[in-house]
Structures are given as structure tokens and as C-alpha cells.
């Protein structure tokens, strides 16, 4: 290994720091949590931008001085893409992405001076916040063969909510990707969660809307781990066949807290746990428990949303790669006791982004026209008795207790 590689590795290791740590600790964190939640709708967690940005500004020599001189620009991935596509002409974001930074007041729709002082983030670094559907500018000449309008910005989950045509309050969707992200449209009301969820801005296209959101850090990634870590399957799609080789999980519960637990627990110190193993447990039982863990985590989110909103769910629209798994979708419906509805187009994040851009450029005239595009591919109705579903959820909670707070200390 040459000296350049050694230096690069040392720099990388120095910047990496301890994983899943937050600059706000102990009493300070507890005291600030209500204020931060009231302004941003978020919990204090290293998942969001502010704590990471604060760490960078402190840890890297001369970085703060450069930021204060206006030499540095910050943004989420949409900001970076708009900047690159426009040749540095656009430094922008939208409310759905800004609401992920823990620096944005979702009620006023503006960067918050108190939070900027708290995290010591210079305002000059921050992008301009624009609606999610608007012609902001165009790509630079020669990049795409023409000056293409840049006309849509949204966080991936808010884009999926839009792509699922969940335009009315009370409509919910769950995206089953590497993680799982469940959003409930709450209309023009920003509902403060009492049950471990976050309040977020939905995509802003003509009207300002909010959503309750729950994030599961490890969803489909647990199947990838079965494939790459344990090598129980060759391809991710093989997990359903392996799980169907047994009639149930045989009492095995798998908590895939590889990177801690997201909503509604927010425990960065939890770690992955498999409980209930016996001599009779097989690869099929582990595979089935892994799939069921995705549904258990998502069910916790929807139950929390029902408590926060005060309204029972009528159905759950689903998308993402793992939503193609019939066994998982049926178990999800069984746990929830409501229909799980899979649309014909599963890639609704990309679809929602296209809808937002198309609204601004006149491809579609209204959200109502877009809603008519949505079509059902398959509907999963609950079959499990409610007593059995409740028993399974209680056992899942017991397994969670054994995974929580593992790394602390």
C-alpha cells in the first residue's frame, strides 16, 4: 500500500468517528428535545443532518472558518443534484428535504435561527427552500444534450406518498426498501406525535401538507444479510420459497437492529437479536422470522399513527422491492387487520418525482388527474384472527426488549 493510500485511510478513519453518536447528550439532550420536536417535528437522533453537520464543523480543521466566509454549501442529496445539474447555478431544496435537517421550522416554513445557533451552523451554508413542484432553472448546456427544466424536488418517501396518490388526509403508504418508511397524510395539520413518530412536511405541490412518518432502518436489508452474511439464499427473491418451507416461524423472532432501532423506539444502541431458537429450528424458520420482522416493525408504526391521529386505518398502500413478496404482504395484512394494497407500479418514489416535475411543466394539469393514474395490482385481505395477531405482536415486543440498549455503556 502506497503512502497516499495510507494517508487516505487515516483521514477516513479520523473522520468516521464513533458510529451513531449525537453531540447532544444527557441532560442537555433531554432539555432540548421538546423544543426541537416542537419546531422540526423530529426527535434528537444522529439519523438527521444537524448533529452530523455540527460534528463536521467541529472536527475538521478550518472547516467552520470557511463556512462562515461563505465558501461552503450544505444540502441534502437533492440540493447536490440540483447544484451539479445546473452547473452551480442552483443552491436549493424543498420543504420535505429541509424538514429532515433538524434546522427547519416546519410550521413557519423557514430555517430556524435558534436551531442554527444551537448547532452552530452558519446560515450562509443553507440552500433556498422552494416548493416541491416548480421550474427552478435548467440543466447546464451540453450536459444532457439540451437545457432540460429542473422542476421537481422531494424527499424519497414524500415522493412515494405523492406517487401513491395519497393526496388526502388519512391515506397511508409504506415503502419496503432497504428500510421501511410509513407515511400518513395529515392534510394541513402538523400533528405532534406522542408515540415516537416524526412530523414532516409532505411534498408541496400547490398546497402545503404534512405527514406523520415512521422509519424502520432495516427492512429488505435483512434479506440481503441472509443472502450475503449467512448465505442461506443465492438471490433475494429466493427468501420467499425458503420461508414457505415451514408453516410458521416456529417461535423464532428476529429483531434486525443492525444499526439500532428507528421509530417508534429510537434506540441507536440496540443490536440484532434472534430469540426462540431450539434444536428444531431450521434455515426456513430463520428466513420466515426475518420476513416477519419487516411486518412487525411496520405494524408498530401504523399502530402508533392510529393513536396519534385518532383515526383507524382503512387500508395501507405499499410499494418498493419487498412489496412484491406475497408472503410478507399477507402477513402484514394479518397483523394490521386492514387491507394491504399493492399497485401496478411498485417504484412509486421515482413515479412521484416524475409527477412533481410533470405538474410544473404541464404534463399533468392537477393532482386529481395524477390520482386517476393509480391502479391496483393485488389486494391482500387479513385472514388471521385478531387474538392471534395480538399474541404475535406481544411476543415481538418481548423479543424487542432483549435487543434494546445492548451497546450502551
What is the CATH number for 274?
Answer: 3.30.420.40
Could you tell me the residue range of the domain that residue 340 belongs to? 155-409
Do residues 91 and 166 share a domain?
A: no
Mean of per-residue pLDDT scores for the chain: 92
Instruction: Examine the fold and report which residue of 152, 176, 208 is the final residue of a domain before the chain moves on.
Output: 152
The residue among 127, 152, 177 that closes a domain is: 152
Residues 268-297, mean pLDDT to the nearest whole number: 97
Q: Which residues pair with 319 in a beta bridge?
A: 175
- 154, 358 contact by CB (below 8 A): no
Per-residue model confidence (pLDDT) at position 1: 35
Which residue among 152, 187, 214 closes a domain? Answer: 152
Cell of 353: 418525482
Q: What is the pLDDT of residues 290-327, one digit of tens each?
A: 999 999 999 999 999 999 999 899 999 999 999 999 99
Residue 237's pLDDT is 94
> What is the distance between the alpha carbons of residues 307 and 137, in angstroms, rounded to a whole number?
42
Q: What's the CA gap between 292 and 160, in Å, rounded?
A: 23
Instruction: Residue 58: count other Cβ atoms within 10 Å of its Cβ.
Output: 11
Q: CA 259 to CA 214: how far, in whole Å?
A: 16
Q: Which of left, alpha, beta for 49 (phi over 0: left; psi -120 to 50: alpha)?
A: alpha
225 shares a domain with 102: no
pLDDT of residue 33: 87
Note whether 228 and 108 are same-domain residues: no
Mean pLDDT is lowest, of 16-25, 118-127, 156-165, 323-332, for: 16-25
Judged on CB neighbours under 10 Å (0-12, 13-18, 19+), 278 is exposed
- pLDDT tens, 354-408? 999 999 999 999 999 999 999 999 999 999 999 999 999 999 999 999 999 998 7
Give SS3 for 404: coil
State the cell numbers at 229. Answer: 452474511
One domain, residues 91 and 19: yes
Same domain, 214 and 350: yes
Flag whether pLDDT at 57 surpasses 90: yes
Contact 213, 268 (CB under 8 A): no
199-209 tens-digit pLDDT? 999 999 999 99
pLDDT reported for residue 15: 36
3-state secondary structure of 111: strand
pLDDT for the residue numbered 45: 81
Amino acid at each position: 500500500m502506497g503512502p497516499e493510500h495510507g494517508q487516505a485511510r487515516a483521514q477516513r478513519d479520523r473522520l468516521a468517528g464513533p458510529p451513531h453518536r449525537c453531540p447532544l447528550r444527557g441532560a442537555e439532550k433531554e432539555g432540548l428535545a421538546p423544543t426541537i420536536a416542537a419546531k422540526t417535528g423530529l426527535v434528537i437522533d444522529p439519523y438527521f443532518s444537524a448533529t452530523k453537520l455540527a460534528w463536521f464543523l467541529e472536527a475538521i480543521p478550518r472547516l467552520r472558518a470557511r463556512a462562515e466566509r461563505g465558501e461552503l454549501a450544505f444540502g441534502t442529496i437533492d440540493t447536490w443534484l440540483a447544484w451539479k445539474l445546473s452547473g452551480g447555478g442552483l443552491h436549493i431544496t424543498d420543504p420535505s428535504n429541509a424538514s429532515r435537517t433538524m434546522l427547519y421550522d416546519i410550521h413557519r416554513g423557514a430555517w430556524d435561527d435558534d436551531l442554527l445557533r444551537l448547532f452552530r451552523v452558519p446560515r450562509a451554508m443553507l440552500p433556498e427552500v422552494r416548493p416541491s413542484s416548480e421550474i427552478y432553472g435548467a440543466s447546464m448546456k451540453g450536459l444532457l444534450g439540451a437545457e432540460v427544466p429542473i422542476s421537481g424536488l422531494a424527499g424519497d418517501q414524500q415522493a412515494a406518498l405523492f406517487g401513491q396518490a395519497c393526496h388526502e388526509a388519512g391515506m397511508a403508504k409504506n415503502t419496503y426498501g432497504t428500510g421501511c418508511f410509513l407515511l400518513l397524510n395529515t392534510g394541513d395539520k402538523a400533528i405532534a406525535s406522542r408515540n415516537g413518530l416524526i412530523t414532516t412536511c409532505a411534498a408541496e405541490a400547490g398546497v402545503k401538507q404534512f405527514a406523520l412518518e415512521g422509519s424502520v432502518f432495516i427492512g429488505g436489508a435483512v434479506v440481503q444479510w441472509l443472502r450475503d452474511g449467512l448465505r442461506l439464499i443465492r438471490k433475494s427473491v429466493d427468501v420467499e420459497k425458503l420461508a414457505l418451507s415451514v408453516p410458521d416461524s416456529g417461535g423464532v423472532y428476529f429483531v434486525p437492529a443492525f444499526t439500532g432501532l428507528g421509530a417508534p423506539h429510537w434506540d441507536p444502541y440496540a443490536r440484532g437479536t434472534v430469540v426462540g431458537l431450539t434444536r428444531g429450528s431450521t434455515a426456513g424458520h430463520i428466513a420466515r422470522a426475518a420476513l416477519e420482522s419487516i411486518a412487525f416493525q411496520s405494524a408498530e408504526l401504523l399502530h402508533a399513527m392510529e393513536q396519534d391521529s385518532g383515526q383507524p386505518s382503512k387500508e395501507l398502500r405499499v410499494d418498493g422491492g419487498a412489496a412484491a413478496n406475497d408472503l410478507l404482504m399477507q402477513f402484514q395484512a394479518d397483523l394490521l387487520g386492514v387491507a394491504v394494497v399493492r399497485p401496478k407500479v411498485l417504484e412509486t418514489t421515482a413515479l412521484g418525482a416524475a409527477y412533481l416535475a410533470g405538474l410544473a411543466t404541464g404534463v399533468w394539469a392537477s393532482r386529481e388527474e395524477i390520482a386517476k393514474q393509480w391502479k391496483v395490482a393485488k389486494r391482500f385481505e387479513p385472514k388471521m384472527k385478531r387474538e392471534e395477531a395480538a399474541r404475535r405482536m406481544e411476543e415481538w415486543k418481548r423479543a424487542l426488549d432483549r435487543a434494546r440498549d445492548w451497546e450502551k455503556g
